[in-house]
Amino acid sequence: MARKTTRRSNGRRSPWAAAALIGIGLLLTGGAYAGASAAMAATDDTAETASTLTVEDGKKLFQANCATCHGLDLQGTADGPSLYGVGELAVEFQVATGRMPLQMSGPQAPQKPVQFTDAQIQAMAAWVQSAAPGPSYPSDETIDGEGDVSRGAELFRINCAMCHNVAAAGGALTEGKYAPGLQSTSALHMYAAMVTGPQNMPVFNDMTLTTEDKRDIISALLFLQENESPGGFSLGSLGPVSEGLFIWIFGIGALIALTVWVTAKSN
Ligand code: HEC
Ligand code: HEC
């Protein structure tokens, strides 16, 4: 009898108890994380609004963080190219996408978490621009995303799709380099990339693509970012490779499952 009661107390635990426990655990950690990141975001905001920095501050920031590779007077060193004439927009692009300051040399500067506030980036950019001018910020209209989307998409297919893929999903280039996906790039950085031509990307100056052309391309890319794929799952927009793999695994998998089921029935 005594044995039986212990058995029962073991068996009484519902199979759902484990699932419920895991669910509660996930909710708690998720809640704590959301709370913590909201708090972090709040402190970030206050730090940024409190500061307006001068060109002189930008010079100091540059000398502390960038001069080891780019030289105290932008002249360049063995570890980094000269920044004469790259302009404030190149600094904005490189630093605000986390590419600079570079940490390790490799085939291509990777995007990392951004290490400076907007005000600090603008101050460094302003100093580089004052020392040796180059391409500068676009007008608000150029990056407002209100241009001709279908014309922009066509220009993108002609000028950019061979590296960035027709759906702007990105693609591999030679020697370990890659054209990144453009699904989360801001309008300002799209413009900056075209004007400054980072690394293996060619420069698209006003002779190759007018400001109007650039506005249309930016509008088309923003349209792509905002609109879901109309055909259901986009499967990474990689084209026939991922689509073929999908039908092989799920389509043929379903057929095999069906045949197994049918033969199991007939036994
Ligand atoms: C460890 C060395 C290193 C440090 C530190 C560094 N850079 Fe660079 N930077 C490079 C190299 C190498 C390149 C060129 C290759 C590349 O883009 O990957 C480059 C490229 C650039 C370019 C693009 C130049 C062009 O021709 O378009 C800019 C702008 C730039 N850096 C700005 C900065 C700024 C601003 C900082 C400081 C916040 C910084 N870099 C810190 C090594 C460095
Ligand atoms: C020859 C190949 C090539 C072509 C053509 C090209 N790109 Fe790029 N693009 C690149 C490479 C490589 C990078 C990454 C550079 C880096 O990381 O420094 C890049 C980076 C970018 C970025 C920055 C993405 C980010 O998230 O920071 C944007 C935006 C961009 N390209 C837009 C365009 C547009 C628009 C066109 C057409 C007008 C175009 N590219 C044409 C190779 C190309």
C-alpha–C-alpha distance, residues 81 and 105, integer Å: 13
pLDDT tens profile 54-64: 889 999 999 99
Residue with more model confidence, 13 or 156: 156
Taking the C-alpha atoms of residue 57 and residue 126, their distance in angstroms, rounded to an integer, is 10
pLDDT at 47 over 70: no
The overall average pLDDT reported for the chain is 85
Which pLDDT belongs to residue 46?
42
Q: In the predicted model, is pLDDT for residue 4 greater than 90?
A: no
Are the C-beta atoms of 155 and 177 separated by less than 8 Å?
Answer: no
Give the pLDDT of residue 153.
Answer: 93
| Distance (Å) from CA 134 to ligand 1 centroid | 15
pLDDT at 50: 45
Listed in sequence order, the residues at least 6 apart from 220 whose beta carbon sits closer than 8 Å to its beta carbon are 147, 149, 150, 151, 152, 153, 155, 156
Distance CA 88, CA 124 (A): 8
Q: Examine the pLDDT at 19 and tell me if it is beyond 60.
A: yes
Tell me the two tokens of residue 5.
Answer: 């009661």
pLDDT band at 94 (very low <50, low <70, confident <90, very high): very high
Which atom of ligand 2 is closest in space to residue 221's alpha carbon? 35
Planar angle of CA 101, 107, 189, nearest 5 degrees: 55
Tens digit of each residue's pLDDT (9 = 90 or more) over 166-180: 888 888 888 889 899
Nearest CA to ligand 1 atom 23: 90
- Average pLDDT, stretch 55-83? 91
CA of 138 to the centre of ligand 2 (A): 18
| 128-146 per-position pLDDT tens digit | 999 888 898 999 999 998 9
Exposure class string for 35-73: b at 16+ Cβ within 10 A, else e: eeeeeeeeeeeeeeeeeebebebbbebbbebbbebbbee
- 163 alpha carbon to ligand 2 midpoint, in Å? 7
Tokens of 151: 């014309």
Tell me what pLDDT residue 190 has. Answer: 95
Closest CA to 193 of 170, 167, 176: 170
Residue among 72, 84, 100 whose CB has most ligand 1 atoms within 8 A, to mutate: 100
pLDDT at 5: 47
